[in-house]
Structure 1
Amino acid sequence: MFLIERYIVSQTHRLVLTLVGFLIFIFASYCAQRYLTEAANGTLALEVVVDVVFYKVLIALEMLLPVGLYVSVGVALGQMYNDSEITAIYAAGSSPARIYRAVLMLAIPLAILVALLSMYGRPWAYGQIYKLEQQSQSELDVNHLMPRKFNTNDDGRMVLSNQINTDSSVLTDALIYTSSDTRTSLYRARTVHVVNPSPTHPSVQLQAGTAYTLDHQGSNDNEQIYKDLNLHLKPLLQGLNVKRKAEKAAVLARSPDPADTAELQWRESRGLTAMLMALLAIPLSRTKPRQGRFATLLPLTIVFTLIFYGGNVCRTLVANGALPATPGVWLVPILMLIAVLLLMARDFSLLRKFSR
């Protein structure tokens, strides 16, 4: 009874596994190269690179899985059109509904998985990444510092030291640079003892050095020569966008901020978008005999580009208040649903013409 559906599913799911595996490998390699560079520059601890890459891949799955299914459906059905198998299926009296049903057998479970990843896995992974980055990017943790290199963090703080003793948490011949909107401070010290390396309450004790302060708003610049100086530095804080991506859906739902609404709608729409992408690939896979199985890649690429950038533009417009929350980010899935219904109607009308 489901012979056709099983055949289409078998042709498609192998491509999905191969393509998604390849995309994961490429994405993980890119992330590893990026974070290994940061580790080499002293801005990220080497031991957290593997964990960060794992969380990044988990976040990316909400995009990689739909793309893998979307392209696999287009290529697999394109091959069947090229081999005239679809024509034989229609000639045998089968309906296009069987092709759509076969794709839905793969698309529905994948859409549920993508929805769960987007609603729960993605914010959890972002939260873990920010914790790791915040802990490892504290340039006051001597285990993460590199001698004779500029060790920086996202707040513009920099530490340079000629020698680092990890056992005693002491820096020798050190330079500490901090900057804010109102002033810039520069501290030179013969020795620096790290009292508290915590990103939230960083503090150091400087001995035998000079402090320089430059006032951005006036002429209150000064120079201070000291023997001992206790210095409490500005904590490393998360930005609003960082907190939003890691926030729970229930918190976003209660927030009146349009940016939180855009983030919530983006998460909620990922599952439906994944399923609609797979259904759109069915009519886009139609090719002429002997045209080649990869002839569908161009229209598939164009449509995916429109979906991807359309979704990002809508999310940005909702976050900025330029697009109302209704339909908001759901505008793209609504347009995709309309396109799917119109293309399905065309497929069924073509069947009626073929049967006459």
Structure 2
Amino acid sequence: MKIFKRALSAELMSSSSAIFLIILGIVVAQRAGNIVRQVSKGILPNDAIGTILTFSLVKLMPMMLSLAIFLAVLLTLTRWHRDSEMVIWMNAGLSLRQWVVPILRFIFPIVLIISLLSLFVMPWATEKAEGYREQLKKRDELSSISPGAFKESSSGERIYFIESFDKLGYEVKNIFVQSRQHGKTGIITANRGSRYKAENGDNFLVLHNGRRYEVIPNTLDVSTTEFERYDIRIETKESAPEPGTAQGKTTLGLMQDASLSDQAELHWRFAIPISTIVMVLLAIPLSFVDPRAGRSLNIMFAILIFIVYNNILSIFQAWITQGKISSWVGLWPVHLCFILLGWYLYHRRKHLKPLIPDLFKRKPKAAA
């Protein structure tokens, strides 16, 4: 019995670690690509990539851990079925129920971590991410400029182009600024410039050794001025603070608030660790491999159940927010349905029946 538990724990540990790293790499690539796309369009500044990516990963960490241990249990037991190791252990006297306790003992610390992340760390990361985005909205227009890209000011009166910044973002090179004031179009070019903040808090872009061209539309009048120094006041964005969302509130704050959106968010936070336990228990009967049905059929069916489970939880959460379902009922009907599904699958495996009944099997004809 000790050999069985030791072998199971060792393989589950290695499988869950490898699967989690794979999922983490996929999520990082997907989220980083999305953030870089926003930076290239000028929606986000360059220095916000790392911070926003970190907050996104922290928010997705509970779901990534949940999926990782579900796939680890499923793939480990599937391999044991495929390599006939499961047959050996069952012939040694192990029943299907005796697999439950070692697996639950293995996932207990992981589910505890998922609970802490879901109830405390995830709302903290959401709140910090919302606050950071508010700070980005209030930053001056020069901070959102990407090197080598044209950027229009929030008022629409200026267009900036800067070829490159220094590491700190205070020194700029090869600047182009187009502005519209008093019915005239001005174009300013300079080889280098710098930023500074005045005593009253205003930000300025200082251009050195450049030229200013002033053009009156629909005329041929063009005036050229060379300068050694030219100061441009940088506009700052003023935006009203947006109200905090339910995702950014603490769990204690959700318990004290009676709004439907807060109650729905509270049920969702508790649903993540609960669904993890349910899906891991479902992975035990789902790991059975029928040699005649192919090696990957059970894995595809298990992943389909995982996706359906989480999508139905999201639907019920939306219904709670809309008032279609009482907050006292919450997401428990979804958990109960999948617990009953697990009981059904255990019952069929216990009696060595296929997990999905063959409804289209032809009955043998009676002898004449």
Are the structure 2 counterparts of residues 11 and 290 from structure 1 closer, same or farther at C-alpha, using a change threshold of 3 Å?
farther
Instruction: Pick one of 268, 271, 274 that aligns with 1:269.
Output: 271
Counterpart code for 1:161: I
The correspondence of residues 237-252 of structure 1 with structure 2, limited to 5 A, is 237-238=241-242, 243-252=245-254
Structure number with bigger Rg: 2
8 Å CA contact retained: 1:119, 1:249: yes
User: Which residue number in structure 2 is paired with residue 40 of structure 1?
Assistant: 40
Q: Tell me the distance in 1 between the aligned counterparts of 2:27 and 2:178.
A: 40
Q: 1:163 to 1:47 in 2, by over 3 A?
A: closer
1:75 is displaced (CA, Å) by: 1.4
Query: Which residue is 2:321 aligned to?
Result: 319
The CA deviation at 1:316 is 0.8
| Partner amino acid, structure 1, of 2:304 | I
Q: Give how far 1:49 is off.
A: 0.8
Q: Is the 8 A contact 2:255 2:263 kept in 1?
A: yes
- The 8 Å contact of residues 82 and 291 in structure 1, kept in 2 or not, is answered as no
Q: Which AA in structure 2 matches 1:315?
A: Q
SS at match of 1:22: helix
Question: Given that residues 111 and 276 in structure 2 are in contact (C-alpha distance below 8 angstroms), is that contact kept between their aligned partners in structure 1?
Answer: yes
1:263 CA displacement = 0.5
1:340 Cα deviation after fit: 2.6
Mapped to 1, the partners of 2:145 and 2:105 lie a distance apart of: 52
TM-score after normalising by structure 2? 0.72
Query: CA 1:16–1:160 in 2, change beyond 3 Å: closer, same or farther?
Result: farther
- Residue 149 (str. 1) matches residue 136 (str. 2): no
Give the direction of change, closer, same or farther, for the CA distance of 1:309–1:157 in structure 2 (3 Å limit): farther
Partner of 2:159: 161
How far does the alpha carbon of each residue in 1:204-254 deviate from its partner, in whole angstroms, 9 at most, with x for none?
99xxxxxxxxxxxxxxxxxxxxxxxxx9965153355xx221111111112
Amino acid in the other structure paired with 2:306: F
Structure 2, gaps ≥5 residues long: 188-194, 205-234, 354-368
- Relative to 1, partners in 2 of residues 1:247 and 1:6: Cα closer, same or farther, differing over 3 Å? same
Show structure 1 runs of 4+ deviating over 4 A. 156-160, 163-168, 187-191, 202-205, 231-234, 289-293, 345-351
Measured after TM superposition, the shift of residue 123 of structure 1 is 0.8
Give the 5 Å matches for 1:8-87. 8-87=8-87
Q: Could you tell me how far apart the structure 1 residues matched to 2:123 and 2:184 are?
A: 41
Name the CA shift for 1:140/1:349 in 2 (closer, same or farther; >3 Å): same
Query: Structure 2: how far apart are the matches of 1:140 and 1:124?
Result: 27
Matched letter for residue 150 of structure 2 = K
User: Are residues 1:92 and 2:92 paired?
Assistant: yes
Shift of 1:290: 7.7
Q: Shift of the alpha carbon at 1:320?
A: 0.9
C-alpha distance in 2 between matches for 1:257 and 1:270: 21
Q: Give, in whole Å, the separation in 1 of the partners of 2:325 and 2:180.
A: 48
Shift of 1:339: 2.5
1:39-67 deviation line (CA, Å, top 9, x unaligned)? 22222121221121122112111111111
Q: Which moved more, 1:67-76 or 1:275-284?
A: 67-76
Residue type of the alignment partner of 1:324:
S
- Identity level (%): 18
The question of 1:5 aligning with 2:33 is answered no
Alpha-carbon separation, structure 2, partners of 1:137 and 1:159: 18
Q: Which residue of 2 aligns with 1:214?
A: none
1:296 — aligned with what? Answer: 298
1:199 alignment partner in structure 2 = none
SS state of the match for residue 160, structure 2? strand
Work out the CA distance in 2 between the residues paired with 1:66 and 1:104. Answer: 13
Give the corresponding residue for 2:255. Answer: 253
- Change beyond 3 A, Cα 1:48–1:122: same
Q: What's 2:130 paired with?
A: 130
The structure-2 alpha-carbon separation of the partners of 1:132 and 1:87, relative to structure 1 and needing over 3 Å to count, comes to: same
Secondary structure at 1:161 match in 2? strand
**What's the counterpart of residue 339 of structure 2?**
337
Secondary structure of 1:162 counterpart: strand
Q: Distance in 1 between the 2:44 and 2:68 partners? A: 32
Alignment correspondent of 2:356 = none
Partners of 1:111 and 1:157 in 2: CA distance: 50
User: Structure 1 residues 275-284 or 293-302, which shifts more?
Assistant: 293-302
For residues 157 and 23 of structure 2, the distance between their equivalents in structure 1, rounded to whole angstroms, comes to: 38
Distance (whole Å) between structure 1 residues aligned to residue 180 and residue 63 of structure 2: 43
> Displacement, 1:258?
0.8
* Structure 2 residue 233 is the aligned partner of structure 1 residue 235: no
The 2-side partners of 1:287 and 1:76 are apart by: 12
For residues 239 and 175 of structure 1, the distance between their equivalents in structure 2, rounded to whole angstroms, comes to: 35
Q: How far does residue 321 in structure 1 lie from its aligned partner after superposition?
A: 0.8
On the 8 A contact 1:5/1:102 being kept in 2, the answer is yes
Alignment RMSD: 3.8
